[in-house]
A and B are shown apart, each in its own frame.
Chain A
Amino acid sequence: MKDLCYLAVEATLNTGAAYADVRIVERRVSSVLVKNENVESLTDSASSGFGIRALVDGAWGFSSSSLIGKQEMKRVAEEATRIARASGRVKRGEVELSQLTSREGSYRSEWKVDPWQVPLEEKISLLMDAQRAMEVDESIKLRTANLQAFRERWFFSSSEGSFLEQDILQTGAGTEVLVLRGGEVHRRSYPAPFGGNFRTAGWEFIESLDLVGNAEKTARQAVALLDAKRCPGGKADIILGTNQLALQVHESCGHPTELDRVLGTEASYAGTSFLSPEKLGSFPYGSESVNIVADATLDGGLGTFGYDDEGVPAQRVDLVRKGVFTGYQSSRETSVLFGQESSGNMRADGWSRIPLIRMTNINLLPGDWDLDELVSDTKEGIYMETNKSWSIDDLRLNFQFATEIAWEIKDGELGDLLKYPGYTGITYDFWRSCDAVCDEGHWTLWGIPNCGKGQPGQVARVGHATSPGRFRGVRVGVA
């Protein structure tokens, strides 16, 4: 692969590029989906290819192909350069890249058991057992269990002299139950919605989830929602569980701190950001309890790696410190505009896509509250858990979330179950209303494998670690 990488870079320089990099990527995904008694999907996918970026006269071109070979690499190199020259027809300044020390290196994520070595029969049995354990009431219409394994081998080389290799293995699994009675439908999932939880780890992570052991409780909670009270409307103090808070961080801090959005390059599609450059270092994003980092070095995160897709080493950067907005997620091209080095956030969805600024693991750092103490400290409120739906405007200000389940808090104790919970607000008002974050003992790492961005569309696998947090005077029950 090293020779092919060098060949691709050399071929691109020979066509006139001032800078070139190539990524050769081999990706494999295996998934099993069980619904009720049927294995509805049993799939193994493999995709390999390479992508070349060329910088010519200060403008970018990118081309990619699934045919890995010398002749095709020369053709793609020429095409990348031709495209870059075409880009140069509509430019004002020239793209510059921040400093990066060239290096050779390799990174391999840690795992104990390769999921591809686990017999398929064992995977199917696990999911079958989990869905059966959810069959606890006649109102249950649909029992779903799924698992996925993802592996990516990656080779990178640039005209600055770097050659890097990376091998990352990720796994995830979850269950979901749907109850139906009299036209009313509720969903409850474990440990997270939309496929479960995901980690950079091996089969051992799926085993640790204990899907079967948690199935009955998940199903009974769904059934109980049928007879639950409706979440009231108005203003309330709310405590968000870690899964919902992970998505809140994702949408209202992860995306708006992406520097490409801030600079307008996603303005026509994903949108821009309210966190404009003059706010950096001074804007009161949240309360003093709010500390958020982008950390690609966190053990097991879905956004954990050795190098990003520009060859920048993984790192941890502050985004919000003691409530003040302090940092962006950046690339070499964007960081140089601020006189900084890249934060190592350039990630591409496989070989066929150009790297974009993407989240790594965006984490709300733990506070010092115990969850039981936090509930005890809340006279009246609502505890909401597990994301059900999300929506946020294109500057990432007005958001609205729904969760699967909630409980009333009365006189410092969890009380009645509530259905149709949801809340809405403006991002900075919401984070400024945060007066408590739970401690490290409650800090949970979530993996979101389906974050969309870019054109053509790209899907990123990102992580978020959070503890439960309390927010005062939030508008609830909007749905």
Chain B
Amino acid sequence: MPMDRSEAISLVESVLDLSQADQTEAVLIGTNTALTRYANSVIHQNVATTNRELIIRLVYGRQLGVVRTNSTDRAAIEEAVGRAAKMAKAQRPNKDFVSLPRGGRPKEVPNFSSNTQDSTPEERAEAVKDIVSVVSALRGEKAFGSLEATVISFAVANSLGIRAYDEMTVGHLAVTAIRERDGEKGYGWSEDLNVDILKIDHRGTAQKAAEKAARSLGAKTMEPGEYEVILEGYAVADMVQSLSYITFGALAYQEGRSYVTGRLGQRVTGDSITLWDDGTRPEGLPLAFDAEGVPKEKVLLLEDGIAKGVVYDSYTAGREGRQSTGHALPLPDPTGPLALNAFLKTGNSSLDEMVAETKRGIYVTRFHYTNAIDAPKALITGMTRGGTFLIEDGEIAGPVKNLRFTQGLMEAFSEASLIGRKSKSYRFSSWLGVGATTVPDVKIDAFRFTGTTEF
């Protein structure tokens, strides 16, 4: 559950007071999540949860032990510190560990809204009623989705002087509209994200999903093959998030699992692609520091198509004798540091212009169930979803059944010919969903579809 600064800092400092370790770190994560799910135009799941978790990391020399608990009374903290100490002492020295971070002073970022904090189940139900009403206005349409209001507070303290506290909110709406006619279904998707739940355009989001569902009826089967594609931001964000996982984290980079291992400084995509991570920008869901309390740095990942860098936490940074960039996740963390707030540089086009520029291609709303086939090659497979259309002679010719793609992401970005002039933030569902990927729509001239499905 969220705490104010003094309560939270006092609690994490109590861990430092109790510890006899050479270095000690305490992370407190409080969450209040309220989420209203609706399907078939009724609310079917409506939940709230309150939790407070403490993560304690003790370091003796190069021996580390981590304990995570959601009991935060004095006795429980004493027990947890004792357990972490016992674990650390049973450890073998980790030769790659250098030190916990020393950190710096995080920026103030605009990431909190009392409207989201005070969101009530009645208000969310009324918003869903509106969404259902907008979607139902087109005959035979049903609404499905979720509306979320989350408050998260973070406090980090370590024995090297780090004291960090922040409280953030997340408002998120997802709408799927399904239109049925003669036993056939058309699907439409839209979503919106804002730290202030009242700034979410729930009617507009519902309208977009409903219109797309209506246009999706009567989908025809396309032959798999290589096509020009126009990717809405949802699909572009999916690609960028895949790259965050498999390419731009220092752990994957150091272990040789990343496409950019051995390629920093080399061209890996077309020169229109510049990608960076910046967790302090007001767009999306900013958070000024990471799970080690280190201020988030802006990290250039790709610049004009050249691989420039990856993101670090203190462990991976220590291996290379450098400083953390502020991208640690809470422990235990098998993923390693993650670019949670990636930005793709905008261009000077628009969706309408991209369609007009396309002789024959596929318009993709979003992707579904993408997964790496060969992570070091950034080779991904996945499906289209939520509205897929054929473009012919510069116009949307009609809906098509969803397609499977199997595509190298760097090769895809090398074929990016038009990039939207506006970008939008899309939620990154990793680590409590506190990240967001901010991207424009993109046209890619060659994209490989390898299969099709029946809807």
Q: Do A397 and B453 touch across chains, with their CB atoms under 8 A apart?
A: yes
- Most interface-central of A44, A274, A426 (chain B CB within 10 A): A44
Cα separation A61 to B49 with both chains bound (whole Å): 11
How does the 8 Å CB contact mask read for A54-76 relative to B, with 1 for contact and 0 for none? Answer: 00000111111111000000000
Q: Compute how far the CA of A352 lies from the CA of B31 in the bound complex, rounded to whole angstroms.
A: 11
Q: CB < 8 Å: which of A82, A128, A455, A456 contacts B92?
A: A128
Taking A268-B146, A422-B373 as contacts, is the C-beta distance between A46 and B381 under 8 angstroms?
A: no
Q: Which residues of A contact B122 (CB under 8 A)?
A: 86, 89
Q: Which of A4-12, A33-41, A212-220 contacts B (4 or more CB under 8 A)?
A: A33-41
CB of B454 within 8 A of CB of A426, answer yes
* Residues of the A chain whose Cβ atoms lie less than 8 Å from the Cβ of B406: 400, 478-479
Chain A residues in 8 Å Cβ range of B239: none
B-binding segment of A116-124, A203-211, A281-289: A116-124
A45's partner among B67, B92, B256 (CB-CB below 8 A) is B67
Contact (Cβ within 8 A) B255 A41? no
List chain B residues, Cβ under 8 A from A308. none
- Number of contacts between A and B (CB, 8 Å)? 260
Q: Is B126 an interface residue (CB 8 A)?
A: yes
Interchain CB contact under 8 A, A60 and B44: yes
Specify which of A60, A268, A354 lies most central, judged by the most chain B CB atoms within 10 Å of its CB.
A268
Whole-angstrom CA separation of A269 from B191 in the bound complex: 12
Is the beta-carbon distance between A424 and B46 smaller than 8 angstroms?
no
Give A269 to B35 CA distance when docked, in angstroms. Answer: 13
State in angstroms the CA–CA spacing of A269 and B144 once bound together. Answer: 9
Interface residues of B in 330-372 (CB under 8 A from A): 331-334, 368-372
Note all chain B residues with C-beta closer than 8 A to A59: 43, 46
A33 vs B331: C-alpha distance in the bound complex, in angstroms? 12
Count chain A CB atoms within 10 A of each CB in B50, B256, B379, B385 and give the residue with the most.
B50
Distance (Å) between the CB of B312 and the closest chain A CB? 15
Q: Is B451 an interface residue (CB 8 A)?
A: yes
Specify which of A86, A389, A420, A478 lies most central, judged by the most chain B CB atoms within 10 Å of its CB.
A86
Q: Give bound CA distance, A326 to B369, whole Å.
A: 27
- Partner-contacting stretch, out of B18-26, B170-178, B266-274: B170-178
Interface status of A135 (Cβ within 8 A of chain B): no
A267 within 8 Å of B (CB atoms): yes
Known contacts A60-B44, A89-B129, A391-B381; is-contact A142 B39 (Cβ 8 Å) = no
B121 with A86: CB separation less than 8 A: yes
Q: Report the bound CA distance from A230 to B404 in whole Å.
A: 22
Interchain CB contact under 8 A, A43 and B67 = yes
CB distance from B405 to the nearest CB of A (A): 10
Contact yes or no, B94 A391, CB < 8 A: no
| B323 close to chain A: CB less than 8 A | no
Which of chain B's residues have a CB closer than 8 A to the CB of A62? 45-48
Q: Mark B27-41, 1 if CB is under 8 A from A, else 0.
A: 000000101111111
A39-B91, A86-B122, A90-B43 known; A393 and B381 CB under 8 Å?
Answer: no
Q: Find A61's partner among B46, B70, B374, B385 (CB 8 Å cutoff).
A: B46
Report whether B46 and A398 are in contact in the complex, using a CB–CB cutoff of 8 Å. Answer: no
Rounded to whole Å, the gap between the CB of A67 and the closest CB of chain B is 8
Q: Smallest distance from the beta carbon of B188 to chain A beta carbons, Å?
A: 11
A91 within 8 A of B: yes
| B39–A391 CB distance below 8 A | no
Mark out the residues of chain A between 58 and 110 whose CB falls within 8 Å of any chain B CB in the assembled complex.
Answer: 59-67, 79-80, 82-87, 89-92
Contact B41 A92 (CB under 8 A): yes
Residues in B317-332 with C-beta less than 8 Å from chain A = 331-332
Assess whether A2 is interfacial by the CB under 8 Å rule: no
Shortest beta-carbon distance from A12 to chain B in Å: 14
Contact between B92 and A33, CB atoms less than 8 A apart:
no
B53 at the interface (CB under 8 A from A): yes
Q: Which residues in A have their C-beta under 8 angstroms from that of B148?
A: 455-456
B39 close to A185 (CB less than 8 A): no
**What chain A residues lie within 8 Å of B44 (beta carbons)?**
60, 87, 265
Binary interface profile of A, 386-428, with partner B (CB < 8 Å = 1, else 0)?
0011111111011010100000000000000000101010100
Contacts of B125 in A (CB 8 A): 86-87, 89-90
A178 contacts B257, CB within 8 Å?
yes
Pick the contact of A424: B48, B142, B450 (CB < 8 A): B450
Would you call A441 an interface residue if the criterion is a C-beta within 8 Å of the partner chain's C-beta atoms? no
Which one, A183, A400, A420, contacts B376 given CB within 8 A? A183
Q: Is the CB of B71 within 8 A of A398?
A: no
Q: Is the CB of A46 within 8 A of B90?
A: no
Q: Is the CB of B371 within 8 A of A390?
A: yes
Q: Give the distance in Å from the alpha carbon of A82 to the alpha carbon of B452 in the complex.
A: 45
For residue B429, CB closer than 8 A to chain A, the reply is: yes
- Complex alpha-carbon distance, A422 and B404, angstroms: 14
- The residue in chain A whose Cβ has the minimal distance to the Cβ of B68 is A45
- CB-based contact B453/A393 at 8 Å: yes
The answer to whether the Cβ of A49 comes within 8 Å of any Cβ in the partner chain is: yes
Query: How many angstroms between the C-alpha atoms of A121 and B451 in the bound complex?
Result: 50
User: Which of chain B's residues has its CB closest to A120's CB?
Assistant: B90
The listed residue with most A CB atoms (<10 A of its CB), out of B49, B65, B333, is B49
CB distance from B369 to the nearest CB of A (A): 5
Q: Does A339 contact B (CB under 8 A)?
A: no
Does A232 reach chain B (CB closer than 8 Å)? no
B382 touches A44 (CB 8 A): no
Q: Which residues of chain A from 10 to 50 have a CB within 8 Å of any chain B CB?
A: 31, 33, 37-49
Chain B residues within CB distance 8 Å of chain A: 1, 33, 35-53, 64-71, 83-84, 86-88, 90-92, 94-97, 120-122, 124-126, 128-129, 132, 142, 144-146, 148, 174-176, 178, 189, 255-257, 262, 331-334, 368-376, 379, 381-383, 385, 402, 404, 406, 429, 450-455
Q: Report which A residues bind B (CB closer than 8 A).
A: 31, 33, 37-49, 51, 59-67, 79-80, 82-87, 89-92, 119-121, 124, 128, 141-142, 178, 180, 183, 185, 263-269, 271, 274, 352-354, 388-395, 397-398, 400, 402, 420, 422, 424, 426, 455-457, 478-479
Name 23 A/B residue pairs within 8 A (Cβ), A-sorted: A33-B334, A39-B91, A60-B44, A61-B46, A66-B71, A83-B121, A86-B120, A87-B36, A89-B43, A90-B41, A90-B42, A90-B125, A120-B91, A124-B90, A180-B256, A185-B376, A263-B39, A265-B44, A268-B144, A352-B49, A389-B372, A393-B369, A397-B455
Which A-B residue pairs are the 5 nearest by beta carbons?
A: A86-B121, A268-B176, A45-B68, A398-B453, A120-B90
